[in-house]
Structure 1
Amino acid sequence: MAALVYAPFPDRESAREVAAQLLDEELIGCANLLGPVESLYEWQGERGEGSEIGVLFKTDVTLLERAVARLEALHPYDTPAVLGWKCDAPGAATAAWLGGLTPRD
């Protein structure tokens, strides 16, 4: 079954670096760099805003927890917002593609 992970990044360069590392480690099959996105947020009691690059990572559900943990470790933010979830209705070809991922240990 397919899974998705979303995380915003401070810039396109850091997003590309992390995506490349996750691809190298075969924890994801694809990363879609979106954006820029405008972020409005509440953090440590203060309101803020900024421009970020959103990234949608595609993986297999069996790799979801490992991909999320590795993304958190590689992310340039001290406390990154990383959200992962199972896809309820992936296309058959997409599920087969992502199901074939074999991560490097």
Structure 2
Amino acid sequence: MRLDFAAVGSLKIFCLTVVLSVLMFLVLRRVGLRAFSMASETYSSGTHSAAFVTCPNDTVAKELARGIVEKKLAACVNIMPKIISVYEWQGKIEEDSEVLLMIKTRSSKVSALAEYVRSNHPYEVAEVISLSIDQGNPPYLKWISDTVPE
């Protein structure tokens, strides 16, 4: 029995083509489903907000952040250490080292969030400001909605 090397080579190429086609199909299917999911989700601008709170130190920042998330006032709080704040207070220019909280929440929760911060913050006048989120990664924004109830 003689081996037909041309036929064996053609068979190898055919098998390799089939395997690569199946792999490409799986990859493209996954990418396509993810792209469709992101494109099909709609977002109403302003539904969510990023709020900012300054704290005197890490201990206060962590306590506030944990309380905010536990009380479902936000989905996530980022703690940014060692910022320098320059501000006017009681007629004098002050400069302090602080910690900044960046808080992601529903816009409808900003008032309750501000009340929680005022009640639990050591500053006489606690900073609580928020900015409306116009756009973002749809799955991330959905996660905020799923985590923070109305």
Normalization by structure 1: what TM-score? Answer: 0.90
Q: Could you report, residue by residue, the CA deviation over 1:14-40 in whole angstroms, capped at 9, with x for unpaired residues?
A: 000011111110111111000210111
1:88 equivalent in alignment to 2:118: no
Greater strand percent: which structure? 1
Work out which of the two has the higher radius of gyration on C-alpha atoms and give 1 or 2: 2
Structure 1: distance between partners of 2:52 and 2:95? 19
The runs of at least 4 consecutive aligned structure 1 residues that moved more than 3 Å come to: none
Normalization by structure 2: what TM-score? Answer: 0.65
Deviation at residue 85 of structure 1 after TM alignment: 2.1
Structure 1: distance between partners of 2:78 and 2:126? 18
Give matches, 1:1-105, under 5 Å: 1-100=47-146, 101-102=148-149
Q: CA RMSD in A?
A: 1.3
What fraction of aligned residue pairs are identical, expressed as a percent? 23
Structure 2: distance between partners of 1:6 and 1:16? 14
Deviation at residue 60 of structure 1 after TM alignment: 1.2
Structure 1: distance between partners of 2:116 and 2:105? 13
Greater helix percent: which structure? 2
Greater relative contact order, per chain length (Cα 8 Å cut-off, separation 6+): 1
Q: Tell me, which stretches of 5 or more residues in structure 2 are unaligned?
A: 1-46
Equivalent pairs counted in the alignment come to 103
Q: Tell me, which stretches of 5 or more residues in structure 1 are unaligned?
A: none
